[in-house]
Structures are given as structure tokens and as C-alpha cells.
Amino acid sequence: MPNKTILREKLKESVSSVLPIALIVAVLCLGFVPVTTDLMLAFLLGTILLIVGMGLFTLGAEASMTQIGSLTGARITKSRRLSLILIISFVLGIAITVAEPDLTVLASNVPHINTTVLIITVSVGVGLFLVICMLRILFAVQLRWVLLGSYIVVFALAVFSDADFLSVAFDSGGVTTGPMTVPFIMALGVGVASIRSDKNAEADSFGLVALCSIGPILAVMILGFVYEMEDGTVASSVIHSYADTVELGGGYLRAIPHYMGEVASALAPIVAFFLLFQIISLRLRKLPFLRIVIGLVYTYVGLVLFLVGVNVGFSSLGTILGQKLAESTAWLLVPVAMVMGWFIISAEPAVHVLNKQVEEISAGAVSERAMGLSLSIAIALATGLAMVRVLTGISILWFTVPGYALALGMSFFVPPIFTAIAFDSGGVASGPMTATFMLPFAMGACEAVGGNVLTDAFGLVSLVAMMPLITVQVMGAVYLVRSKRSREAVDVTQLADNEIIELWEVAS
């Protein structure tokens, strides 16, 4: 059994992530935007399930997925067989992405692509780019060149892509770097990087998340060329009304068996791989093996509760709130979204880890507080720009092309470690709250103003994921300037000391 203190800490983290949005929604619904009582109650129950589900899920993912990734990475590198490393990386990339909760939420909201088709497409994209990640680490290729080449292909393909697939493609890249995928992929990268003994091996283990988020973008764009769109409605906008509390409870109870089956299917590939790998190669002792199994159980239960809470109560109110706000005072969409974006990122537990990491790497030149403030401003701008797109219908390319061009250009002027952390941190910013609430909010608003949901509302996640690429590298530039000034100050001091010593020696 996991330590009760750790479980309490994870639940506290999930509360800090969900509560700010819940409070903002409560203020809006109780004071400004009228919604039905049953929908508000469904939202509150969904919030509780979301908090408990996220807590159990993150606890289980750390105990199981991170361990499986680390053990697998270390074991396959010992064989020193390139073909084995690449094949296993591809299979694991697919298996772990299929189980990503943020991807499941996004796929369920996309009306014109079959949910299973979208999940499989995105997963294959991650698998292929995880292979590229392994090759980059093993052959010590600089991250900036791989990123530059990949994004040139992305934007060249975007010119010819179907507009109805474009924004969904960019959002797919944002949601794949979620709480399931990130710890697993990073652990796998560290294990594979250990095969090298040079001083840059550890730094090269960063950047895997950044590259793996490119694969889904390309995969969904390519899907748009061959896939015949389906007619459908936006899942989160199909709002159920409940006559009484018993009917509301029944809605939740009926959803549980459905999502138990879905999550079992999603986790089955990674569980099967782990058990097979345990029999063939790992052969863990009883206690470590049981810890991973218990972690998988926690992951399963947490994921079921998370998806039930999101789909029955949480996302639905996001859609209605966006609709009502757009119908009454559309100009409020931008400031309200910016406030939500500010609190979403400041409450995200993984962001505090990122901020501390940057402070340590910069030796205090970039403080944790400064980093947090800059990220909050960046995400607030991203959610505000997303609402501008909803109201105006501006193409996502008008934002992503200059944004990524700036981020890639900066990579040539800041320390490589800041570039790697910046591109990895996109997954940190586009956390569960972005996919589960902000995206449905944008979709509801878009429907109310008569926009095209596929081209105007989708793309929010990608904007949120893009902003840290710029922000973290700006902090890297600040670090460079401050460290340069510090070195100059040291040199002046040393020179003055030397002169005094020489004068003293002459006088003597």
C-alpha cells in the first residue's frame, strides 16, 4: 500500500488544480450567468470525482508508469541492440498514449472523427516520434535541429491540410503530453541516455516530450487527407437534464461501468507489455512487482473516476457557461478566459516543479517566483487569444507560425538546456483543466456566436502549450544576461584585488 502521506499530498495537489476553476465557475453561475440547478449540482459532483480521480491517478502513475518506463529504458539499453530499442520504443509510445486521459477527453469532443480512429492515429504519431527521440539520444543529435526540421515539415503540410483537421491536429499535440505520457517517456529517455558516457548525455534526455508532441500533429494532418469526415455533434455540448437527485445519481452510476470498460481497454496494452517483459527479461522480485501492480490499480481507479466526473458533470457546464456568456455579453469571454488561464497554470502542481527546476539550473538568476509570474501571464494571454479566435474566426496558423518561429529562433541564442525544458514544458501548461474545461468552454462560446467549432474553438490547447516555449526561453535569455554581468563583476573584483597585492609587494 502507498504511504498515506503521499496519497494525501496527491489529493492536495489535485484540489489546488481543480478548486480555482470550480470557484470561478461558482461565482459566475451564482452571480452573473444563470444555469439550471441540476447542471450545477452535476458539476459539483463532477468536481469531487475529478479531485479524487486525479489524486489517485497521479499517485498510481508515479508508482507504476514511471517505474515501468525507467526499468524498460535501462534494460533495453543493456542489450545495446538498436533494433530492439527502436521496436520497443515504438510499441510503448503507442501503448502509453492510448491510455492518456487528456487525449480521451479531446477525442470524445471531436465530432467529425471517430474517437477510436483519432486515439490510434495520435498514438502511432507518438510511437514514431519516440523512435526519432531514441535515435537523437543515441547519436547525440542537437535537439534544436530536430525541432527545426520537424516544424518545417509541420507547417509545410499545414498549408495543404483540411481546415477542419488543422486545429484538432495542433490540439492533439498538446494533449498527448499529459500526466500519463510525460513521466513514462521522460523515465524511458533517462534510461536510454545512460548508454552514453559523454557529458551531454543527461541533457539530451530532455526534449523527448517536445518531440513526441509533434508526431500527433503530423499524424492527424495526414489523416485529414485520407479520412472521410463523419457527421456528429460535439459530445460535451450534449447536456443531460435531470428531473431530481435520484435521476442525477443514476446518470453517474450508469456512466461508471461504461468508463470501467473503456479504461480497461486503454490500459490493457501497457499492462500486457509489462507482464510479458517481467516474464521474459525484468524478473522483478515480489515486492517491487507488487508495488507496480498496486500502482496500476490506483491508476485504473483514478482514471475511471476522472473520466466519469469530466464527462457527466464537468465539461458539460463548461460548454453551457461558454454559450450563456457569449449570448449575453460576448466581450466578457476574453477577460474571463484570461482569468481562468491565470489560475489554471498557477494552480498546476507540475508547474511548481518546473519553476523550481529552472531556478536550480540558473543558480538563482531566474527565481521560482519570476518564472511562475511569467508563465501565468503567458497562459492568460494564450486563453485570451483563443477567445479572440472564437469571436473572429482567425486561423490558428496566424498564431502558431509566428509563435513557433520565435521559439525556434530563440533556441539558437539561449542555453540548450533551457530550450529542452521549454519545449518539454508545453505538456505541463496544457494540463487536465485545459482539455476538460477550457476547451468545452470555447466550444460552447463558438456555437453561441455562430462560429465553426472545428476551426475556431479547437486550437486552444495548442496555444496554451505553445506559450511556455517562448516564456521559458525568455527566462533563459535573462539568465544569460545576468550570468554575464555576474562574471564581469567577478573579473573586475579580481583585477582590483590583484592590483592591491602588487602595490603592497612594491611598497614592501
Residuewise pLDDT in 10s, the chain (508 residues)? 456 788 888 888 888 888 888 898 889 888 888 888 888 998 999 999 989 998 898 888 888 887 888 788 778 777 778 888 889 889 988 988 988 888 888 888 888 888 899 999 999 999 999 999 888 887 888 888 999 999 999 999 999 998 889 999 999 988 887 777 777 777 777 767 666 665 665 566 667 888 888 999 999 999 999 888 766 555 444 556 677 888 888 889 998 998 999 889 888 988 998 899 888 888 888 898 999 999 999 999 998 998 898 888 888 888 889 999 998 888 889 999 999 988 877 766 567 666 776 777 777 777 878 888 888 888 999 999 999 999 999 999 999 999 999 999 998 888 887 888 788 777 667 777 788 889 999 999 999 999 999 899 999 999 998 988 898 888 888 888 888 777 665 554 444 444 433 333 333 3
Q: How far apart are CA 368 and CA 370, in angstroms?
A: 6
Q: How far apart are CA 187 and CA 190, in angstroms?
A: 5
Count Cβ atoms below 10 Å from residue 139 Cβ, excluding itself. 10
Q: Which of the 8 DSSP states describes residue 242?
A: -
Of 491, 499, 386, 471, nearest to 435 (Cα)? 386
Q: How far apart are CA 462 and CA 173, in angstroms?
A: 7
Is the dihedral angle over the CA atoms 485, 487, 490, 492 positive or is it negative? negative
